[in-house]
Every structure is written in C-alpha cells, then in structure tokens.
Amino acid sequence: MKSVFSFWRDFIDLLFPRVCLACAGELVESEELVCTGCWAAIPKTQSHVHALPALHAKFAGRVAVKHVFSYFSFEKSSRVQNLLHELKYKNQTELGIVLGKFYGTDLRQIGYQGQLDLIVSVPLHPKKYQQRGYNQSDLFAEGLSAALGVPWSGVALQRATYTTTQTNKNRAERWQNVAGVFVAPNAADVAGKRVALVDDVMTTGATIESAVVTLLNAGCREVSVITIAAVM
C-alpha cells in the first residue's frame, strides 16, 4: 500500500514531471536528477585510474601540477554539456554537489584522500557571483569534500579582476584574459599544503593555470587539478 507521501509525490510528478538534466527524458520514481541510461552513457575519463597525457599536456612546460583529474569527457551538444548548462545557468545547485560526491567516491577508492590537505574552488568575480547567485565550482568542491573527508575553501583564492568570457578565444587570448586575475588573500591558508584546485570544465586550461600559479606563489606544497569535465 502506498503511503500518503507517495500519493502526493505521484500527484506532483503528474503536474510537474521530473526530467533528466542530461537528456530531458522523464525520470522514473527511483531516479534523481539524471536517468539511469544517461549515467551509463556519459563518457567518464577514468583519469584518476590511468593518467591521460591529453590532460597533463595542457600544463606541460608551463606550470607544475601533481595530478590532473576530470570526471567526464566534454563534447559539444552532448549530455555532459547539457549537465553543465543546467548546473551553471539553470540553478540546479544540487547537481554540482551530487557530481562531487560521486567523483569523490571514485577518488576515495584509490586512496586519494590521503594525498590531499585542502580542496580549493576556482572563484567567480563578485559581480558574476551576484548575477548567478552561486559558484558552480563551490558546489562540486563541497561534494568532493563530503566524499573524501577533506576540507574545502571557497575563499582561499579570490578573483581580483572581472574578465570577459573565454568562449571563442584561442589559447593565447585566453591566457592574456586571465593572467594575474587571481589572488590568495591569506597565504597562510594554503602554505605548505597539498591542494586540489577544482573547476567545472577545462578547455585550454588557461584559467586553471593562472589559479595554479597563484597558489604555488602563495606557498602551496603541490597543486592538483580536478574538474567535472574536460575537452580532450
């Protein structure tokens, strides 16, 4: 016999069908946010198990990074792009935390929590944060922190300069656009620590590279990079 709660949920779902954030198909009762078919189909890089040269090449010869991990492989007009769009622009904040918990669980299975002292999210400029109301990288960092049992900070880095969008810029233009835009307001927060720098998507790596440089200059022992998705 169904509970009163179940009846009300069925009624609400009838009026406002719950849809998959990746494919827009209707979710069944046991599914949340993303349908089972999409979870199975979304391309996972497994970069935490097998190092991917394509990811490390984004920083090779430019800045020292310990590990480069990305949960998904990004392609345009894909389920992954749909998820990122929902996370960044559609106020689907729970999705960022869930993705962080899922990937954090994968990272915990390889013992990564023992190689890490602090998780730091790539910050938004205050103007952009005010417009959006949240930082999607904070949400991913929060989920990773919960799964790994490692503290996270959304203030260890700050964005001192407002930058234009990186879309449609080449690597040189992207680097010029973000060079020197980050500051570490309190170096003691990161000095001597093994830090994982977290962002939503990595394309050329220019934004993340600038943040890594700032963290290393502030005295980090080492910096790794973790993103939800990466252009391979």
Average pLDDT score, the chain? 90
Residue 210 makes CB contacts below 8 A (sequence gap 6+) with: 175, 178, 179, 180, 181, 182
Residue 24's alpha-carbon distances to 21, 34, 86, 89, 174, in angstroms, are 6, 9, 11, 16, 32
Residue 8: per-residue pLDDT: 47
- What percentage of the chain carries pLDDT values higher than 90? 80
Q: pLDDT tens digits for 1-60?
A: 455 545 545 544 555 679 999 999 999 988 999 999 999 999 999 999 999 999 999 999
Residue 17: per-residue pLDDT: 79
Report all structural domains of the chain as residue ranges with CATH numbers, in order of start: 1-41 (no CATH), 42-230 (3.40.50)
Residue 182: per-residue pLDDT: 93
Q: Are 105 and 65 in contact (CB under 8 A)?
A: no
The pTM for the full model equals 0.88
Q: pLDDT tens digits for 64-117?
A: 999 999 999 999 999 999 999 999 999 999 999 999 999 999 999 999 999 999
The stretch 187-196 carries a mean pLDDT of: 97
The stretch 192-204 carries a mean pLDDT of: 97
Q: Which residue has the higher pLDDT, 6 or 195?
A: 195
